[in-house]
Structure 1
Amino acid sequence: MSFLVPVGADTLVVTDLLGSIMMPTGAIQGGQTPQQASQDVLRGAPDVLAWVQTRRRKVITHVLATTEPMTREDVGHLIYRDPRADVRVPPTMSVVDGLPAKGRLRLLVGLQALATGEMAYIEGDVVRPSAPPDLIPE
């Protein structure tokens, strides 16, 4: 699971783990919802608004977004699950430019879903506008 946390209109929360910049990430433990797992990734973050599910080889990655942008002051209270990492707030475009291609695609799809309110998923390298058929409740 990746956690997308906007700060204001043009910056994002990222973690800096020994010089590696990434979106805050973590696992969803058995029985947890993605929303519950987000609190294990970033303690002190606001509630989750939406998520995007991306799929690669039967692995589902949830990209979660907060209900509203945080302030820099709010970010100062966040605690990341890995104590070796620092929480940082760089400009969104520098995060996008610094990610590898697959991470960049996940981030851009997450930002698009946050902006439009529409769920999406990635199959291969193609973005689809809704949940994969096997994830749609019957």
Structure 2
Amino acid sequence: MEDPKLAKGMVKREVIQLVTPGTQFQTGSQNAKDNNYLTALTYDIDEQHYGFAYADLSTGELKVTNLSSIDEIINEVVSLSSKETVVLSDNLPTEVTETLTKLGVLISHQEILPTNAATSYLSQDVEGEVVKQVVTLLLSYIETTQNGA
């Protein structure tokens, strides 16, 4: 991005942050004390279970677990009042994404970015491939949308 004072002609601009239902901060409002959880979901077809992670960008809270059914996914998403779930393209059964959409949850597609130092550190104690994958997916989405903001 260019400094407008130094630019001649058109100033180059770029998007520095995307605000989505799961990444917005509600500072200064009555709801500022409420958590705003961004969730992520991956599926291990061989093991027939889901990796589920959630984060609140305003507090830095990050949790991950394994889930075994759509009912468990619904319970988690509803209890967290999640408005957005990040998924890998074509990784989940259609029934799962359709159910979440009916609940009013925005489904955001994200590819996993190459691992960096922060992602490695935050996922180092996570056991199991599907949960490591979901943590990396969630952190990739946060990195993509927040762009260091």
TM-score (norm 1): 0.34
Greater C-alpha Rg: 2
Structure in which a larger fraction of residues adopt helix = 2
